[in-house]
Chain A
């Protein structure tokens, strides 16, 4: 049986950062298991940049201002001790990334360049043109190759095995052979990314962003925190939802409606297009709903204009965006405005992390980092440029903490073999099962329901309907089967299990959203338009039960900044 001291599930930015750190320890066996090749991870799609108060562009910036911007951006739901830690660590981690070789864009004096981003007091976002995530992901992978980190590429994890509140291992399928294996591990770090694929019809995420780690941890009894907070990115391409970076607005792009107005002046008179994402997304959606957009239904949009930036700046700073617009929308932003619309983008919620210094969950030896985790540093709304930061800042100490934890554990006699046998029989049964449903129709109905009823604007009645609909889809899912009995590269089996994850997560999102009777950050309720600190300045915790999530609440850590009204 495969056995590791530290096993990292997921090889995006957070997973690789943890792996890189853990691989420095001697006499500790570290493995990374990932369902796609590491460089295929969704971190690579992050475009605009990574925040750190280097003060390269504006010397008045500081980690304190960064902390405040993040607290305010989170609509005061972020834990302030963790946010302060993240913002203080930020410059050190950027310098570390640079010394690992990340080719950041530069100022004329050779220092790292920075650009303005939404909700930030200063130009604080370090970048490499519009491919920042891509170069960070590749650099971390390169360094892992250098450190000879052991990768199990194209393995799909299906279960977390715990005993007596302690990590024992995972069950996974080697996609290339189709074999089901148990992997023994003393410490397990989940770094599996987000769940925006719940909104399959309109999202910026990779097809594989199905919240695997969250659903696995949830089913194993670890609560999911703040699941009701889903970030809708203001600018996705009209027809595909593919991301157009906030950097496009940071470089000076602006939004216009069908009357030719820069409508953001009504919603965020000071920050304009560089307001926080929740606010800009709601503004665009309001313009569309009130008839000031173009097009109809799912295809409605407003314009993001970059033409005034000129061909040279667009080619130099936003080359990838330009290519995406040409390939996927048939529009060259040098000549025409880009049709955009808000799009499901990021999961603020995730696996409940109990200690931000180690990223350990409530189960000993189980850690979570990156988008699949909820520390919480993003609270009710994440600021652009803080997600890549989250990966590197929390990935590193999680690697160290997992090594320390594993060192203090001796091997035990837990019978993982029995679990392996059971899981193998279950998968074999699945492969033989006859399908009476279509995967695409369940997935699309789930997505349309979530978009229509638990989307940007929310209300009690539709959300209750959504919960019922998800329950119905879960019943129909029982009639579904992968439909392919092959062993090698059976991606139908993978897709089948992923849909099961999405259904569980959708239910947790909808149930926590109904219970939060206030508007905060990305959670905007028409029936409760105001923030209610008295009753809801608290994190939701969803626990798995076969009948649906059981919801409890936990305290928000407030240190320096008392909640204030949030205007931009």
Chain B
């Protein structure tokens, strides 16, 4: 029978000075998940491998690991699919990234729970319970806003592969902000301001670099990246003037007033004259490369048929409170398709 190699990250702080990798050779079996392969190696070759597991049905969130560099639930993916995907005979299994390993594939969950506690991850009702002694009412549209985000199983796949968290360990991270959004967007919750203040602290919402790794890695379609953006929109609607919100405002006004962005004046409007002065050398280089028009410094020009842009935006502003836009249920497939078509082309 065909064989494959399971190369496992090993580290026991009581015995090992530093981590190492150990390789186990196993038979390729149809339908075998990576978690099943780990058990096979543990029970037949080396009982000392440690990893977390429980439901083996992608709902408990215990078994997130990195397989060939990318985080996923070991129980959700099959060995044959992974070998095919990476076109290899070796699966490299490592603990989740960004979080300290305790032993082998087991990581420090307490570090994440401490982060979570900062955003008060519990429901705080807006109102007293209804007089009829029954449930708070929530229409299906409002329920839908928290439907996908409450699918989060706290598996840390998104935290593992988050590029911003890699650069800044104090960043709350996609899972935590997404959890904050689950309450911020709940029509029954009364602590929206408090939670927004917490996620806006230390530019947490701004730290997201929009690489979309979190949404791509999420095994439950929770859409952490989208939830970060949704949280930013709610923060703006609630009147918080974050740098991102000021930036977005400048864009909106420019589009309305001239149909295009005035990049010459953007730094000055964003950061004031002193702030913009720091960026002057960059601006000058852009000018010599022909990237900006000097005329923009004095107000600049408008796009052709600007009046149509105004009409569209007026209409949008007029109806924006009436139109209900449902969240898309599936952001994963379009991203996957896009990636595949890029690889193919």
Interface residues, chain A, CB within 8 Å of chain B?
36-37, 39-42, 44-45, 54, 94-95, 98-101, 103-112, 128-129, 131, 134-135, 138-139, 142-143, 145-146, 153, 176, 206-208, 239-240, 242-243, 315-316, 319-320, 323-324, 327-328, 438-440, 482-484, 486-492
Partner of A484, one of B47, B134, B186, B189: B47
Set of chain B residues within 8 Å of A106, measured between Cβ atoms? 138-140, 143
Set of chain A residues within 8 Å of B59, measured between Cβ atoms? 44-45, 131, 134, 320
| Shortest Cβ gap from A493 to chain B (Å) | 9
Q: Is the CB of B58 within 8 A of A327?
A: yes
Number of interface residues of B (CB under 8 A): 63
Is B13 in contact with chain A by the CB < 8 A criterion?
A: yes
Partner of B60, one of A36, A107, A488: A36
Set of chain A residues within 8 Å of B43, measured between Cβ atoms? 438-440
Is B146 in contact with chain A by the CB < 8 A criterion?
A: yes
A324 to B55, CA, bound (A): 12
Name the CB-closest residue of B to A492: B47
A139 to B182, CA, bound (A): 12
Q: Is the CB of B154 within 8 A of A239?
A: no
Q: Is the CB of B57 within 8 A of A243?
A: yes
Name the CB-closest residue of B to A148: B117
Given contacts A45-B57, A488-B14, contact A37 B102 (CB under 8 A): no
Question: What 0/1 pattern do residues 94 to 132 of B give for CB contact below 8 A with A?
Answer: 000000001110100110010011001111010001000
Q: DSSP class of B's interface residues: helix, strand, loop or mixed?
A: loop
Chain A CB within 10 A, most for which of B117, B135, B146: B135
| Shortest Cβ gap from B159 to chain A (Å) | 14
A388 to B153, CA, bound (A): 18
Name the CB-closest residue of A to B188: A101
Q: Is the CB of A110 within 8 A of B123?
A: no
Q: Is the CB of B122 within 8 A of A143?
A: yes
Q: Is the CB of A315 within 8 A of B329?
A: yes
Q: Is the CB of A484 within 8 A of B48?
A: yes
A243 to B106, CA, bound (A): 27
Name the CB-closest residue of A to B134: A95
Q: Is the CB of B60 within 8 A of A145?
A: no
Question: What 0/1 pattern do residues 241 to 283 of B give for CB contact below 8 A with A?
Answer: 0000000000000000000000000000000000000000000
A110 to B136, CA, bound (A): 8
A-B contact pairs, 5 of them (CB 8 A): A45-B57, A100-B123, A101-B186, A143-B123, A320-B151
Q: Is the CB of B48 within 8 A of A40?
A: no
Name the CB-closest residue of A to B73: A327
Set of chain A residues within 8 Å of B103, measured between Cβ atoms? 488-489
| Shortest Cβ gap from A155 to chain B (Å) | 14
Is B12 in contact with chain A by the CB < 8 A criterion?
A: yes
Q: Is the CB of A110 within 8 A of B12?
A: no
A328 to B53, CA, bound (A): 17
Name the CB-closest residue of A to B77: A327
Q: Is the CB of B109 within 8 A of A111?
A: no
Q: Is the CB of A482 within 8 A of B329?
A: no
Set of chain A residues within 8 Å of B15, measured between Cβ atoms? 486
| Shortest Cβ gap from A526 to chain B (Å) | 32
A500 to B47, CA, bound (A): 17
Q: Is the CB of B150 within 8 A of A99?
A: no
Is B50 in contact with chain A by the CB < 8 A criterion?
A: yes
Set of chain A residues within 8 Å of B135, measured between Cβ atoms? 94-95, 98-99, 104, 111-112
Set of chain B residues within 8 Å of A109, measured between Cβ atoms? 137, 139
Set of chain B residues within 8 Å of A37, measured between Cβ atoms? 62, 109, 154
Q: Is the CB of B147 within 8 A of A39?
A: no
Q: Is the CB of A142 within 8 A of B31?
A: no
A109 to B136, CA, bound (A): 11
Given contacts A108-B139, A128-B150, A207-B54, contact A39 B60 (CB under 8 A): yes
Q: Is the CB of A40 within 8 A of B140?
A: no
Name the CB-closest residue of A to B44: A440
Is B42 in contact with chain A by the CB < 8 A criterion?
A: yes
Q: Is the CB of B48 within 8 A of A486?
A: yes
A324 to B102, CA, bound (A): 30
A99 to B57, CA, bound (A): 29
Is B334 in contact with chain A by the CB < 8 A criterion?
A: no
Set of chain B residues within 8 Å of A320, measured between Cβ atoms? 59, 151
Set of chain A residues within 8 Å of B50, measured between Cβ atoms? 486, 488-491
Q: Is the CB of A40 within 8 A of B62?
A: yes
List 20 additional contacts besides A103-B143, A438-B43; criterion CB under 8 Å: A36-B60, A41-B54, A42-B60, A99-B129, A101-B123, A101-B189, A104-B143, A105-B140, A106-B143, A108-B140, A109-B137, A128-B150, A145-B117, A146-B122, A207-B54, A319-B329, A327-B77, A486-B12, A488-B103, A489-B102
Q: Is the CB of B147 within 8 A of A129?
A: yes
Name the CB-closest residue of A to B329: A315
Given contacts A37-B62, A208-B54, contact A142 B104 (CB under 8 A): no
Question: What 0/1 pattern do residues 139 to 180 of B give for CB contact below 8 A with A?
Answer: 110010011001111100000000000000000000000000
Set of chain A residues within 8 Å of B5, measured between Cβ atoms? none
Given contacts A98-B135, A315-B329, A315-B330, contact A324 B57 (CB under 8 A): yes
Set of chain B residues within 8 Å of A242, measured between Cβ atoms? 56-57
Q: Is the CB of A489 within 8 A of B58?
A: no
Name the CB-closest residue of B to A146: B122
A45 to B56, CA, bound (A): 10
Q: Is the CB of B137 within 8 A of A110?
A: yes
Q: Is the CB of B14 within 8 A of A103?
A: no
Given contacts A487-B14, A488-B50, A489-B106, contact A41 B151 (CB under 8 A): no
Question: 10 shortest A-B CB distances, which residue pairs?
Answer: A101-B123, A110-B137, A483-B47, A492-B47, A489-B50, A142-B122, A146-B122, A484-B48, A98-B135, A40-B60
Q: Is the CB of A111 within 8 A of B137?
A: yes
| Shortest Cβ gap from A56 to chain B (Å) | 9
Q: Is the CB of B122 within 8 A of A101?
A: yes
| Shortest Cβ gap from A482 to chain B (Å) | 7
A101 to B221, CA, bound (A): 21
A395 to B184, CA, bound (A): 29
Is B7 in contact with chain A by the CB < 8 A criterion?
A: no
| Shortest Cβ gap from B304 to chain A (Å) | 42
A146 to B125, CA, bound (A): 13
Name the CB-closest residue of A to B121: A142
| Shortest Cβ gap from A243 to chain B (Å) | 7
A560 to B52, CA, bound (A): 48
Set of chain B residues within 8 Å of A128, measured between Cβ atoms? 150
A104 to B139, CA, bound (A): 11
| Shortest Cβ gap from A502 to chain B (Å) | 15
Q: Is the CB of B58 within 8 A of A488?
A: no
Set of chain A residues within 8 Å of B76, measured between Cβ atoms? 327
Is B133 in contact with chain A by the CB < 8 A criterion?
A: yes
Q: Is the CB of B58 within 8 A of A323?
A: yes
Name the CB-closest residue of A to B330: A315
Q: Is the CB of B54 within 8 A of A131?
A: no
